[in-house]
Structure 1
Amino acid sequence: MRVVFTKGPGTSYDIAVHRETGAAPALRNGPGGHPYLPHDLVHFLAEAEAGIELGVYGRPAAGDNGLFWPADPAERNKAARRRKTKPAKSSPRARADMERSEELAGIAVPVWEVRRGGHAKALPAYVRAEEIPPVVDRIVTRLDEYADRRHALPVGGILQLTW
């Protein structure tokens, strides 16, 4: 599966997912907020490094819509009807994977900001240095690989990653 992050104005961005399984997902707007590390890029890198299979990106790779809606209006309507009549129940494993993805993203960004220097002087109170999981070091290394590249992109520029 290919994931394309397109830089928008300010800290905004779009995400396009191109996959082999399931209906083609619609373009999705990201929440923005960080000039170097788009939230959904952080999730991608955290999930890849931690081997999270049913997170933000593993679910669509497996054919589930996850956080994405089908691009085809007919498929989107079917998905909406299914959600109304039978609310989505994710498996305990999928819920645990999503929680782990959020946890790692929430730790990795402030660790990157402090280690990088100039972005933050100290870790927030919810991140205790002695409790940082070892996988965070690998995630932070990956964040470093992409942060400057993403920041330097012009509006409309892309980062393309493979899941």
Structure 2
Amino acid sequence: MRVVFAKGPGTSYDIAVHRETGAALAPRNGPGGHPYLPHDLVHFLVEAEAGIKLGVYGRLAAGDNGLFWPADPAERAKAARHRKSKRPKSSPEAQTDMARSEELAGIAVPVWEVRHGHAAELPAYVTVREIPPVVDRIVSRLDEYAERWHALPVGGTLTLTW
């Protein structure tokens, strides 16, 4: 699966997912908010580095639509009906993986910001816990992409393979 992050104005961005399994997905806007580390790029790197199989990207690769909608209008209508009639049930493993992705992203970004002088200190929710060893590897991956993302012009892209 290929995931394309396209830089928008300010801290906005779009995401396009090109996968082998499941309906073709329409691109969507990301939540924005960080000039170096787009939220969804962080989750991609966290999940890849930590080996999270049922996080956002593992589930997309397996055919789940996640926060995306099918590109085909007929498939989109079918997905909308499905979402209304049945709340998708996640397995306990998927719930654990999603929580782990959020937890590691919430630790890794502030650690990266402090190491690069974008923040003076770690927030209390990070300092009250032991930082898992995988965070150092994740921060190294953030280092690989942060400057590249920041230097992109509006409309520039980064493509990652899952």
TM over 0.5: yes
- One-letter amino acid matched to 2:46: A
Q: Equivalent residue for 2:150?
A: 151
Deviation at 1:129, TM superposition (A): 7.0
Q: Equivalent residue for 1:46?
A: 46
Cα distance between partner residues in 1 of 2:128 and 2:87:
39
Q: Equivalent residue for 1:16?
A: 16
Change (3 A) 1:134 1:65: same
Q: Equivalent residue for 1:59?
A: 59
Partner secondary structure for residue 15 of structure 2? strand
Structure 1: where are the runs of 5+ without partners? Answer: none
Cα distance between partner residues in 2 of 1:50 and 1:67:
22
Q: How many residues in Structure 1 have an aligned counterpart in Structure 2?
A: 162
Deviation at 1:73, TM superposition (A): 1.1
- One-letter amino acid matched to 2:57: Y
Q: Identity across aligned pairs (percent)?
A: 84
Change (3 A) 1:49 1:129: farther
- One-letter amino acid matched to 2:14: D
Q: Equivalent residue for 1:142?
A: 141
- Supply the RMSD in Å over aligned alpha carbons: 1.0
Cα distance between partner residues in 2 of 1:130 and 1:14:
33
Cα distance between partner residues in 2 of 1:93 and 1:72:
30
Per-residue CA shift, 1:109-161, capped at 9, x if unaligned? 000001112x0010001002761000000000000000000000000000000
Per-residue CA shift, 1:78-97, capped at 9, x if unaligned? 01101111111111111111
Change (3 A) 1:129 1:146: farther
Provide TM-score, normalisation by structure 1: 0.97
Partner secondary structure for residue 57 of structure 1? helix
Q: Equivalent residue for 1:121?
A: 120
Map 1:51-130 onto structure 2 (within 5 A). Answer: 51-117=51-117, 119-128=118-127
Cα distance between partner residues in 2 of 1:55 and 1:66:
10
Partner secondary structure for residue 56 of structure 2? coil
Cα distance between partner residues in 2 of 1:24 and 1:94:
22
Provide TM-score, normalisation by structure 2: 0.97
Cα distance between partner residues in 2 of 1:54 and 1:67:
14
Deviation at 1:67, TM superposition (A): 2.0
Moved more, 122-131 or 42-51: 122-131
Cα distance between partner residues in 2 of 1:98 and 1:72:
27
**TM superposition outliers: structure 1 runs of 4+ over 3 Å:** none
